[in-house]
Amino acid sequence: MKRLRTFFRRHVLWVVFFAVAIPLASILALQYRSLSKLEKTSTVAEKVWMKNYLGDVTKEVKYYYRTTAEQVLNVPAAAITGERLRNSRHLFGKCEAKGAKSLFIVSFASPGESEIFFYKPSGRGKIIEPPLAELRAANVAAAPLKMLSEERTPVQTTTVTTDERDLENRIIMKPITDDSSQVVGVAGMIIDNRYFREHYLPRAIQNSLPKFFPDDAQDNVIVTVHDGAGQLVLATQPVKGQDNETWMPVPYFQDWRIAIRSRDMTPEQWAHWNFNFNLALSVALTVVLLGGIALALRTVSHELRLSQMKTDFVSNVSHELRTPLSSIRVFGEFLKLGRVAGPEKVREYGEYVETESRRLTQLIDNILDFSKIESDRKTYQFERADVAEVVGATLKTFDVQLKQHGFGVDLRLPPGRLPVAVIDSESIAQALMNLLDNAVKYSGESKEITVRLGHRAGFITIAVTDRGIGIAREEQGKIFEKFYRVGTGLVHDVKGSGLGLALVEHIVKAHRGRVTVESEGSGRGSTFTIHLPATEGLGGHAETPQSAPILSGDSTFRFDLKR
């Protein structure tokens, strides 16, 4: 149980991540399944919808001609007998037969012989010489009813029928029956193909569109009508794209076919596009969500790490403060009680007290400066200065500490003079002190430190090299973070605040420079280099040798900067 708790505490971020990621992945999988189902059903639905539209148009056409015929061709049997048929001008119903070329009456009143008269679509006024083709078509259409009349077979219903044998003269007709249901004649109309094609059909097609397709979708469908010969009769838009269309025969024009298709995509393509689009949206959403969570977790993890580092910092700093303080107190007491034999020992203890107090001062300076940086209060006094001079002075202040630890420092200067730089000498000295302090702390058994001054590509460089424990490559990017301390290997034993390099970086950046680190890895030593922008003009040191070994092999440090 305890192990489980520890595991959760340690991997809490991963646990949270997976706790969100797994349900998200399941939702995505469900979404995928439902989308692919939707893809299939929406293809069918789209086709059914298109068919419904065509059904609506054809129903309109059927309704229009049927009601017109029912109203106009409503001729009573009495009206077509004898003289009345020849003279009457008002045989037909009240409506005008819009969409008809002509109306006609065939009378079977005289046995063995039928009479046929043609009228204008208004029903008022005869057509004396009807076109032969119309005459023939009307006679052919009426022939079956004539036969019924001759056989005296009664008809039960007098519904409207059609005859499309002559494609140019399609006929809608209705039998005229007497009281005993005997057929006495036929009233008919010959459909005006041109009116149907140019006026009625386009209107019917347009009227039905809004019922099935929203405004913006209407442009995406093309409705076409082809005649029996396959010729295009009309199209709502120039025909292009997929042939995959839904079609139906046109009522009263049974050889024609009315069809609908999508302009850009077939229903299958549309459904597939929709599927891909929705899936991409869901994936994008998931990625954004996971990214957001990862970012949030990263921030939390960073904060946790920072808080852990702060805790370590407090304990490290307390230790850093306590150790030198107790030594100082012990040496102070020895001196006070006169327990130190000989001036040599007094000098040694005095030096120790001085170094430890200097270290304490440096630590406290670092902390104070760091707090100033954090609250944006750190200011710099920039002046033209000779970097070599600043480096020399810093090494001089540091010599007692170096000597105590048995270190030798080799200061190497470039040939010729260094250019002048505009720097805050005190801050640069503080940065260099921190680098030197680290070089001492992390040198392990090795006791050699090299400080190289150089001038490269408009920058003055100060490089501090040690031959100590080195820094693993993956740690090199992190060591400049505040409070960060490498937590493995030998470094464990060395105390520190984790502020030194953060401070160095801040100071150098304030000078528009940069600080870099090179290390081959564990046990191979490290080189920290400060790069400061150089300005015009030359600095101090003149005939300094290219390499100036400053320290002798033993523990004595000789600082020897020639001017």
Which parts of this chain interact with ligand ADP (CB under 6 A)? 434, 438-439, 441-442, 466, 468-469, 471, 479, 484-486, 491, 496-502, 526
Choice between 54 and 499, CB closer to ligand ADP: 499
Q: Where are the beta strands (DSSP E) in 216-300?
A: 221-226, 232-235, 246-250, 253-262
Assign 369 to helix, strand or coil: helix
φ/ψ of residue 224, rounded to 5:
-130, 155
| 8 A C-beta contact, residue 117 and residue 125 | no
Choice between 224 and 355, CB closer to ligand ADP: 355
Cα 94 → chain centroid: 67
Nearest distance in Å: CB 505, ligand ADP? 9
The CA distance from 217 to 209, in Å, is 10
Checking DSSP bridges between strand 408-412 and strand 448-456, what pairing results, if any? parallel
Give the DSSP H/E element, type plus range, for residue 546.
Answer: none
The CA distance from 43 to 62, in Å, is 29
| 8 A C-beta contact, residue 382 and residue 423 | yes
The CA distance from 417 to 392, in Å, is 15
Choice between 101 and 485, CB closer to ligand ADP: 485
The CA distance from 169 to 164, in Å, is 7
Nearest distance in Å: CB 297, ligand ADP? 26
Q: Nearest CA to 334 among 348, 319, 320? A: 348
Choice between 353 and 464, CB closer to ligand ADP: 464
The CA distance from 65 to 62, in Å, is 6
Choice between 349 and 484, CB closer to ligand ADP: 484
Cα 54 → chain centroid: 40
Nearest distance in Å: CB 503, ligand ADP? 7
Q: Which residues contact 328 (CB under 8 A, 6 or more apart)?
A: 353, 356, 357
Choice between 106 and 499, CB closer to ligand ADP: 499
Instruction: Pull the structure tokens for residue 178.
Output: 């007497």
Nearest distance in Å: CB 302, ligand ADP? 17
| 8 A C-beta contact, residue 266 and residue 244 | yes
Nearest distance in Å: CB 398, ligand ADP? 14
Choice between 280 and 314, CB closer to ligand ADP: 314
Nearest distance in Å: CB 504, ligand ADP? 7
Nearest distance in Å: CB 431, ligand ADP? 11
Nearest distance in Å: CB 553, ligand ADP? 22
Choice between 425 and 497, CB closer to ligand ADP: 497
Q: For residue 480, what is the DSSP state?
A: T
